[in-house]
């Protein structure tokens, strides 16, 4: 994996995370940040609420594998649907994910087919360092999921909320995010439907606190950097999709919020010389 250290973030930033043969997902634009976060946080246990085809879950797994961390991953999803067609699609998604996930990550990662509440009942309090909340997106659902899982968080945990930038009717993550992040260490990404990064507990590593305490100008650069790398990850995945995936219908991800191109020049110019040349090659 090609990675660099940038001046305002001490953990390495992956410029080209390995491309995994999974279906495209709205989440792919956050894959480079997932790699950075796992490196910075060094989580002992990762829990994801809402796995579906596995884009985000495998990003965490791949980061743990490539960094050689001693960590456990738990992906929770009901892979359920009310109608026959939906049930068939859910079975297919789970089988396809298992065929990739189990041999590659099965020694430290498991997929739990159950409800988020049932999985929480089995989880030790204070044992989760990284929680990704990506289930139903209504205000009530995301609030419920967070409240049920908050007692499971350790004293050095990060909680990620996907879709904080979606303000369509029915999506209430942005409202819950505004409430839960107020007055707490946090960082927001606007691209790829938005990702909220919430610091929880007094013992977060310095490398994570650097992000959560970034000054506005640094924060803009960090956003631009990860949006640009995320765009690149989405493009790569589309080009390198495994042939078996290309032959079956792939759900279209809604358009992503991309940084306008002048940002790229500004971003590249703001980096030290060695980073600049690598970044130029990567972002084109």
Ligand X SMILES: C[S@@+](CC[C@H](N)C(=O)[O-])C[C@H]1O[C@@H](n2cnc3c(N)ncnc32)[C@H](O)[C@@H]1O
In the complex, which residues of this chain contact ligand X (CB under 6 A)?
Answer: 25, 27, 50-53, 55-56, 76-80, 115-116, 134-136
Residue with Cβ nearer ligand X (1 or 118) = 118
Q: How far is the CB of 80 from ligand X (least distance, A)?
A: 6
Q: Judged by CB, which is closer to ligand X: 117, or 206?
A: 117
102 to 105, 108, 223: CA distances (angstroms) = 6, 10, 33
Q: Which residue is nearest to ligand X (CB)?
A: 50
State the Cα–Cα distance between residues 77 and 97, nearest whole angstrom: 12
Least separation, in Å, of the C-beta of 81 and ligand X? 8
Least separation in angstroms between CB 158 and ligand X: 16
Cβ distance to ligand X smaller for residue 76 or 279:
76
Distance in Å, CB of 55 to ligand X, minimum: 4
- For residues 56 and 204, which CB has a smaller minimum distance to ligand X in the complex? 56
Closest approach of ligand X to the CB of residue 119, in Å:
8
Closest CA to 5 of 277, 284, 271: 271
Beta bridge partners of 159: 131, 198
List the one residue out of 114, 163, 156, 102 whose CA is nearest residue 134.
163
Could you tell me if 279 and 271 are in contact, meaning their C-beta atoms sit under 8 angstroms apart? Answer: yes
State the CB neighbour count (10 A cutoff) for residue 192.
28
Tokens of 70: 């001693």
User: Are the C-beta atoms of residues 216 and 201 closer than 8 Å to each other?
Assistant: no
Q: Which is nearer to ligand X, 173 or 208 (CB)?
A: 173
């Amino acid at each position: 994996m090609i990675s660099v250290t940038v001046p305002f973030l001490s953990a390495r930033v992956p410029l080209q995370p390995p491309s995994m043969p999974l279906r495209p997902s709205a989440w792919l634009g956050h894959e480079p940040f997932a790699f950075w976060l796992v490196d910075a946080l060094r989580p002992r246990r990762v829990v994801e609420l809402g796995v579906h085809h596995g884009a985000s879950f495998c990003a965490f797994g791949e980061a743990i594998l490539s960094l050689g961390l001693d960590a456990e991953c738990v992906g929770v999803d009901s892979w359920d649907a009310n109608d026959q067609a939906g049930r068939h699609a859910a079975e297919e998604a789970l089988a396809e994910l298992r065929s990739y996930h189990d041999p590659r990550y099965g020694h430290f990662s498991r997929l739990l087919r159950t409800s988020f509440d049932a999985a929480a009942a089995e989880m030790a309090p204070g044992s989760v360092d990284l929680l990704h909340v990506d289930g139903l997106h209504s205000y009530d659902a995301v609030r419920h999921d967070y409240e049920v899982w908050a007692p499971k968080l350790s004293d050095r945990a990060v909680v990620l909320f996907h879709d904080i930038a979606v303000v369509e009717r029915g999506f209430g993550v942005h409202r819950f995010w505004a409430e839960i992040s107020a007055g707490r260490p946090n960082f927001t990404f606007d691209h790829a439907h938005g990702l909220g990064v919430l610091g929880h507990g007094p013992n977060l590593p310095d490398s994570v606190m650097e992000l959560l305490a970034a000054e506005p100008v640094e924060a803009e650069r960090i956003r631009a950097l990860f949006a640009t790398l995320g765009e690149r990850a989405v493009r790569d995945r589309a080009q390198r999709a495994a042939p078996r995936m290309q032959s079956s219908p792939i759900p279209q991800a809604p358009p992503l919020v991309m940084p306008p191109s002048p940002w790229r020049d500004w971003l590249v110019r703001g980096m030290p010389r060695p980073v600049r040349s690598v970044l130029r090659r990567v972002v084109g």
